[in-house]
Amino acid sequence: MEYLSTRGGSSGQGFEDVLLTGLAPDGGLFVPAELPHFSAGELSRMRDLSYAELATRIASIFTSGAFPAAELRRMIESSYAGFSHPQVAPLTALADGEYVLELFHGPTLAFKDFALQVLGRMLDYILVRDGRRVLILGATSGDTGSAALEGCRHSAQVDICILHPHEKVSAVQRKQMTTVAGENVRNLAVEGNFDDCQRLVKAAFADQSFLPPDRQLVAVNSINWARIVMQIVYYIHAGLRLGAPERAVSFAVPTGNFGDIYAGYLAREMGLPVDRLIVATNENDILHRFISANEYSIAPLRHTLSPSMDILISSNFERYLYELLDRDSEALAQFMADGAAGGASLADRRWRAMREVFASASVDDAATCATIAEVWRDHGVLLDPHSAIGVRAARDCGRDPDVPVICLATAHPAKFAEAVSAAGLPPPELPERLQRQFRQPERYRVVENDLAGLTAMLGGWAT
């Protein structure tokens, strides 16, 4: 399979390039030149596959040729063998026709493990084969950092350094990062906010001359295509269990950078009968305003009880817009420039085409807490605040009684005890695996918000 950039500047890239590059050289995002399509018969035959088997089947199409088949299977099997639930991504029924898809049984208790566990192994395979080392550098305000650290800590050829804003992440989030053991793992607490961390990372990527010539930085943030691929799997797996391809299903997805729900869109394009994809946002609602009112404009950042969705713009949305605009890179660039300059909107027929697929709702903190309390009272299921936003959005959008709706539960409630307390419920206990991890010593260094200091440290560490 070949990949091209949404901005039109590169094409003909293979999976390996895309995995190691992240952003395309022209500033665009990589998308496959052509998507595979499964017939109803092919989908039916996938029903009996285990989670890891289905994941291998799908990954083998998108990675074509990058890994020997047996290697790919081994990487995927060992990734999901580390999940604490035998079904990997179990479905729980709430009300009639309303389901929760539990995506929090991985090592860091959030859905990002589905992709990052595999990504770490894929990187390692390529680097060992080529006798190279890379340095993964990232900034996090929460879940990505710990999932990336867990995914890469066993990688012999990868060093990983994650920046977080000092004293501005929760204690659970900090410990999830700083108690990850590994010679190749570094955590830096930057005296500044999340934007400062991101600025430092961006500047380091822009000029990598501080690294020895045989080294490069790699990003594993949400635009990395390999992450999207591994997220397609649970949509198809869940749809098949609820009657697809004979019956359509809908999904409600708590959305920040649009990476998770974009994978759902791809599953639909690949043949899974998906009636609607519900974009569930918190008060950072640029996507909800766009889908409901054709108004794409950046609003000030709000800090909410669902911090993993506190974003200004949704970086992966560009991939969907590119398709919606019939792969016209110039029109896409214009739209994005207008959006950044004040506001953009679509021609009416295109906006309507988007609304054929996507519905949306924005859920504030009060409604998030009310939903956590309501679902606990009515169904005995404790949701984390992100997952509660998905359920609330599904209910607010209403539904066809013949089409089940699957609400993605993206994190374990114990990760966000503050929101559970705000909902008037006792804080949930940390799962055993995390309690054990938190007994390990914390290892991190507090550093100034200073690029020269950071690059000197990284350069010294890479030699």
Ligand X SMILES: *Cc1c(COP(=O)(O)O)cnc(C)c1O
Binding site for ligand X (CB under 6 A): 110, 112, 143, 222, 254-260, 308-309, 386, 410-411
Q: Under the phi-then-psi rule, with left for phi > 0, alpha for psi from -120 to 50, and beta for the rest, what region is 185?
A: beta
CB of 349 to ligand X, least distance (A): 27
Find the catalytic residue in 112, 168, 175, 415. Answer: 112
CB of 103 to ligand X, least distance (A): 9
Q: Show the tokens assigned to 282.
A: 């918190």
CB 416 within 8 A of CB 110: no
Q: Show the tokens assigned to 280.
A: 């569930």
- Strand 134-139 and strand 217-218: the pairing is parallel
CB 106 within 8 A of CB 132: no
**Of 358, 342, 164, 178, residue with least CA distance to 252:** 358
Rg for the chain, CA atoms, rounded: 21
- Alpha-carbon span 14 to 7, nearest angstrom: 17
Residue 175 vs 386, nearer CB to ligand X: 386
- Alpha-carbon span 122 to 253, nearest angstrom: 27
Residue 211 vs 274, nearer CB to ligand X: 274
Give the number of other CB atoms < 10 A from CB of residue 156. Answer: 10
- Classify residue 169 by its DSSP letter: S
Active site residue 202: no
Q: Show the tokens assigned to 177.
A: 């990062």
Residue 66 vs 324, nearer CB to ligand X: 324
CB of 63 to ligand X, least distance (A): 20
CB-count burial class (<10 Å; 0-12, 13-18, 19+) for 78: middle
Beta strands in 304-377 (DSSP E): 358-362
**Of 171, 160, 101, 96, residue with least CA distance to 133:** 160
CB of 224 to ligand X, least distance (A): 11
Residue 248 vs 280, nearer CB to ligand X: 280
Residue 224 vs 257, nearer CB to ligand X: 257
Q: Show the tokens assigned to 13.
A: 């890239």
CB of 401 to ligand X, least distance (A): 28
CB of 348 to ligand X, least distance (A): 27
Determine the angle formed by the axes of helices 69-81 and 112-130, rounding to 10 degrees. 140
Residue 15 vs 114, nearer CB to ligand X: 114
CB of 279 to ligand X, least distance (A): 9
CB of 304 to ligand X, least distance (A): 12
C-alpha distances in Å from residue 405, one per residue of 93, 136, 140, 274, 323: 10, 37, 31, 10, 25
- Alpha-carbon span 420 to 431, nearest angstrom: 15
Q: Show the tokens assigned to 462.
A: 């890479």
Residue 245 vs 256, nearer CB to ligand X: 256
CB 145 within 8 A of CB 138: yes
Residue 13 vs 224, nearer CB to ligand X: 224
Active site residues: 112
